[in-house]
Amino acid sequence: MYLGAQLFTDSEYESRLARVRELMDRQGLSAIIVTDPANIFYLIGYNAWSFYTPQMLFVPIEGEMIFFAREMDAHGAHRTTWLGDDQIVGYPESYVHRPHVHPFDWVAWALRQRHQIAPASRAGSVGLEMDSHFFSPKAYRALYNAIPEWKLVDNFELVNWVRSVKSDAEIQLMRQAGMVCSEAMRAAIDTIDVGVRQCDAAAAISQAQITGTEEFGGDYPAIVPMMPTGAAADTPHLTWHQGTFVENEAVVVELTGAHNRYHCPLARTVALGKPSKDLDYVAKATSEGLNNVLDAIRPGVASRELASTWNWTLAKYGLEKPSRLGYSIGIGYPPDWGERTISIRSEDETILETNMTFHIVCGMWMDNYGFELSESVRVSPTGVETFTSFPRELIQK
């Protein structure tokens, strides 16, 4: 019995499942096995830090979904998911972290007991999330050996693609995540200064991320605050250390606001003192490029056109950015806040639709310095909506 405050209406969950099953039918799938915690949350609302042990949502083309989790987690799963008690099944604790058995060995047996495995003559293809962070080779082997009737195939991020277009209720949660993000970025800019320890700045950011606003709190982020500094800013995804910030260095700050698992990332660069001519030059080119990209966003535009706009702007300055310009965002669980579907780059033909949401990442990682400027955005019916409103420029202190 569901005991929590249901985040979305019954009709929204029904619509999500219907769209998933429509894609399953197109791909010729009789069922899918969902292991990505973001996709499980999307379909049934389940939300707990239990994804470090195997868990799965079994979604047949017809009939009821079944959620399998570790016994101690399944015991309380009804507190966040709307599924009925008979749709939540716990596997025995004796299967956790054992070298010669896997929880999916037991799950396969349980699926047989529930008559969820059709005879070989009628069994269809079963889609797996082959690129899920939490679907291991041992999990695949367990299913492959235990259920030979199934033809196990890649479902190519099926649920992730359904997630790419948000409902109005999801957009509202992302706006709130944007407000949390703004608080976290303000904390970063206020705290970062010459002589301040990097770990203390990270602590201030983390407090703001979790405290949120007076109206609502924040959630834990899928990625920790990142702060490449000085010469190390030529490399993305570095975090912090216990050393202090130094005068005339620049600090790249990439962080997120999270609310009810929806994420709104943002990046800005803080110069502690007078920036170098090279950094100032790259900052101006990047700012112009980002503004041009935002002006180009609207329904009906291909993702590659945004990349082209960006590339042409950089070319005017004699610059280039080999990596992708951005990606689809929404629900996030560690270790990533991206949806692993749409990437904004020259070869991506995805057509933008209203209520798609992206992190536009204008990161320029040069030699011994770097500059990053980003925005989280929504494709609106007439153009673009940004979830935050910080100046798009190098911040000098």
27-43: average pLDDT = 97
- Where exactly are the structural domains of the chain? 10-163, 165-396
What pLDDT is stored for residue 2 in this prediction? 46
pTM of the model: 0.96
162 φ/ψ angles, rounded to the nearest 5 degrees: -65, -35
Q: Has residue 123 got a pLDDT over 80?
A: no
Is domain 10-163 annotated with CATH 1.20.140.10? Answer: no
pLDDT of res. 6 = 86
CB atoms within 10 A of CB 211: 14
pLDDT value at 3 more than 70: no
The pLDDT of residue 4 is above 60? no
For residue 119, pLDDT beyond 70: no
Question: How much is the pLDDT for 115?
Answer: 80
- DSSP class of residue 60? E
Mean pLDDT of 297-305: 98
- Cβ neighbours for 252, distance < 8 A, ≥ 6 positions apart: 226, 227, 228, 229, 233, 236, 267, 269, 363, 370, 371, 372
CATH superfamily label, 165-396: Creatinase/methionine aminopeptidase superfamily (3.90.230.10)
pLDDT value at 83 more than 50: yes
Contact 174, 165 (CB under 8 A): no
Residue 61 pLDDT more than 90? yes
- Please check the confidence at residue 145 and state whether its pLDDT lies above 90: yes
CA angle 20, 21, 22 (to 5 degrees): 90
Return the pLDDT at 122.
Answer: 53
Average pLDDT over residues 364-380: 97
362: helix, strand or coil = strand
Residue 255 has a pLDDT of: 98
- CB under 8 Å to 172, separation ≥6 — which residues? none
- pLDDT at residue number 124: 75
Is pLDDT larger for residue 181 or for residue 123? Answer: 181
Integer Cα distance of 144 and 95 in angstroms:
18
Average pLDDT for 342-351: 97
Angle ∠(182,173,75) on CA atoms, nearest 5: 120
Summarised one tens digit per residue, pLDDT across range 200-216 is 999 999 999 999 999 99
